[in-house]
Every structure is written in C-alpha cells, then in structure tokens.
Structure 1
C-alpha cells in the first residue's frame, strides 16, 4: 500500500484536470484538501487524513467530462474511476471504500447521498466553503460565466437587475451569488466548518454592502 495515499492521489488526479475550467480545477482541489485537513484538526473525532486528502484531490476529476455532457454525475463517475485507480495502486479495500463514499456524497445536488463518515462530512464542508469568502466570490462569478458559455446565452447578470427596466429581469442577478453561498453554508455538517463558514459569510456581507454602494442602491438587508 502506498505510504501516502493522499500524495499519490494528487499525482493521479492531475491529468484529469488538464481540461478543467477555473472554478473546478486542480487549484480548487488543493484548496479543498487544505481546508478539509484544517477542519480535521479541530474535529473531535479521529480522521483518516490520507483518505480525506485523497478524496479532496479526486473529487472533481469528472467535472470536465460532465461539462461537455459525456457523463451525468461527476461524483458517481469519480467514485468509480477512483476505485480502479487506487486498486491498481494497491490501496487497502477499506480505504478505497472510504474514499469512494466521500466522492459519491460530496455534491450538494439532491440526488447525492448524504455523507455518513467524518471524512465525507469534512470533504463536503471544505468543498462548499470554497464557494464562500473572497475566493468563493470569484469562483461563483466564474461559474456564472461557465454556465453562460455552455448555454450560449447569458446565465445571470453580475449587477442588480432592478437598476434596469423590467424587460431585463428574466436573468438572475448578483443575488444568485449570495443565495448560492448561503445555501452551501446552511448545508454544512461539522462545527469547525460552520465556524469558518460564518467568518467567511461576514466578509461576503461586507462585500455585498460595498457592491450595492458602488451601484448606488440600497443593500436590501
């Protein structure tokens, strides 16, 4: 078995991110790894840090294929692909199963299973936290652009739609980014994750207030 399944998973994951876009690239995977391990330090339960790091590196390897419509669920696909990768590396079956569960349950989509293990909950939280704070604001804006590019039409406007006439209101506006972030924070499982999330939300609130001031409109609470 590899002495460091997390380190080996980093190496295995890199080719899969070659065609990724900024919101779900290898840098996102690294941030999720870093934050998940940070949260683990403050979690009362024991954590298999190798499993957690491995899952963080591999959780979004299916995103490029999902983006172009070759697969439907990047979490399910990553779990299957990762099982084959780690089996070839000689990783113990129980640790492979632990990583696989993390991958299947990391998404916020309604069809994903709930995370049941500590490692899966920490991965879920770290992934969602990367959509909050300063980095999260940039990532969510990238996702708006990515979805606009995929549909060929504007997905949302990064402005306040009420500043234009009513015929422009069919598109979501900056409120979508706020809602996405809050939805993810409300879904967090762990106490360390929620604590970090609220600190990041405080920053986001100040950002949205400044955003509104620059537009010359009220913050709306």
Structure 2
C-alpha cells in the first residue's frame, strides 16, 4: 500500500473546508495516531492505521455541503474505491474502511480492531485540550453561535451539542476522556482533560467578574 500516495489523494478532498475540519485537522490526527502507536506495547498494523488516518475525513466537505448525511459512512466507501485502485489486498481494504467507518464520535459503530480504536482515540484527542477549545470557538465563529449565555448554564441546556460554545465544552469536550478506547489514549486524554477543567474554572470566574 502506497501511504504517501494516499496522503496526496486525501488532501484533494479538503478544498474550501473551514478550519475546524480542514487538512490541518487531518495532519494532527495522523500525528496523534503515530504517537499512540508508539506508546502501546500491543501489536499495531501501522500501515493500516496511517492509511485510515489520512483518509478518515475525506467525506467532510461533502457533508458540510449537504451532499451526504454521514462523512464516515461515505468516506469508508470512497476509501475502498481509492484502495482498490491501488490493488491493495481485500483484507487491508476492509481493515482501513472499518477504521474510517468507526472513527466518528457521534455514531453507533463500535471499533472492532485495535487500529480502529487507535484512530478513534487519535481523532478524539484533537477535540480535547487546547486544540479542542480552539476548534470549538472557531466553529462558533464559522456559524455565528453564542460564546456564552449566563442565563443558559450547561445544566439547563437540553440541546444535544450545547446552545453556546461554553455549553458545548461541557456536553462534549469534558466527556471525551470517558470515550477513549486504549490505555495510551486515556493517558493522553487525561492530561488534556485536566487543561479543560482549568479553563472551565477560569472562564466561569472571569465571566462572573472575579479577579
């Protein structure tokens, strides 16, 4: 399997995407995947993992444009077409496609392989900590969402993702640590989660006018 060629092919799917899910997100997920693979004692098919990492969000632009409903489902099918064109063995194609299909935070497809667990963890790590916060507020800017509403605290917000950026931190980011699959992922997430808790405490004190 020609992973560098897959990287080049994958980048062609990202023209015009907003910063929250642009090509740089993919690059960070790949680096997270490499780090997680290096920090585990379990055997890892790194070729499968990295191929899936480069290709995992190739459906994002189509989803953002309203052409498809689920970028993970479409991306897995598109990855099969890309890999078949490289004459990649069927077993490897299946493994990569499954990683992509199962990577999404908000779906009901559970990872069935260690590589799929690592990709899911790598993707989730980009949604937590300092990077996760930056992406949250970038998304708010992209869509004109409210930063914070003192009359709508997180506990009173019954929307799935949070009506404000601050509430989204509570409804998603602070829950990511419990969604990690691997020991290496949990270790990295714990450090980033601690940063989130520090941010939330400081944010609440600042909006209350405290020094």
What is the aligned residue count? 203
Unaligned runs of 5+ in 2: none
Q: C-alpha separation between the residues in 2 aligned to 1:69 and 1:17?
A: 15
How large is the RMSD of aligned CA atoms in angstroms? 2.2
Q: C-alpha separation between the residues in 1 aligned to 2:125 and 2:16?
A: 23
Question: Which ranges of 4 or more aligned residues in structure 1 deviate by more than 3 Å?
Answer: none
1:41 is aligned to 2:32: no
Q: TM-score if structure 2 supplies the norm length?
A: 0.88
Quick check: 1:141–1:177 contact (8 Å CA) kept in 2? Answer: no
Quick check: 1:75–1:103 contact (8 Å CA) kept in 2? Answer: yes
Quick check: 2:68–2:74 contact (8 Å CA) kept in 1? Answer: yes
Query: Pick from 48, 56, 59: which aligns with 1:59?
Result: 56
- The farther-off stretch of 123-132 and 174-183 is 174-183
Query: Pick from 105, 112, 123: which aligns with 1:127?
Result: 123
Indicate how the Cα distance of structure 1 residues 179 and 88 shifts in structure 2: closer, same or farther if over 3 A, else same: same
Indicate how the Cα distance of structure 1 residues 70 and 163 shifts in structure 2: closer, same or farther if over 3 A, else same: closer
Q: C-alpha separation between the residues in 1 aligned to 2:55 and 2:139?
A: 20
1:15 is aligned to 2:41: no
Q: Using the TM superposition, give the Cα deviation of residue 7 of structure 1 relative to its aligned residue in structure 2, in angstroms.
A: 1.9
Q: C-alpha separation between the residues in 2 aligned to 1:90 and 1:28?
A: 28
CA offsets, 1:60-96, max 9 Å, x none?
Answer: 1111110121001100111111111111112222111
Quick check: 2:99–2:115 contact (8 Å CA) kept in 1? Answer: yes
Unaligned runs of 5+ in 1: 149-153
> What's the counterpart of residue 172 of structure 1?
163
Q: Using the TM superposition, give the Cα deviation of residue 50 of structure 1 relative to its aligned residue in structure 2, in angstroms.
A: 1.2
Q: Using the TM superposition, give the Cα deviation of residue 37 of structure 1 relative to its aligned residue in structure 2, in angstroms.
A: 1.3
Quick check: 2:49–2:119 contact (8 Å CA) kept in 1? Answer: yes
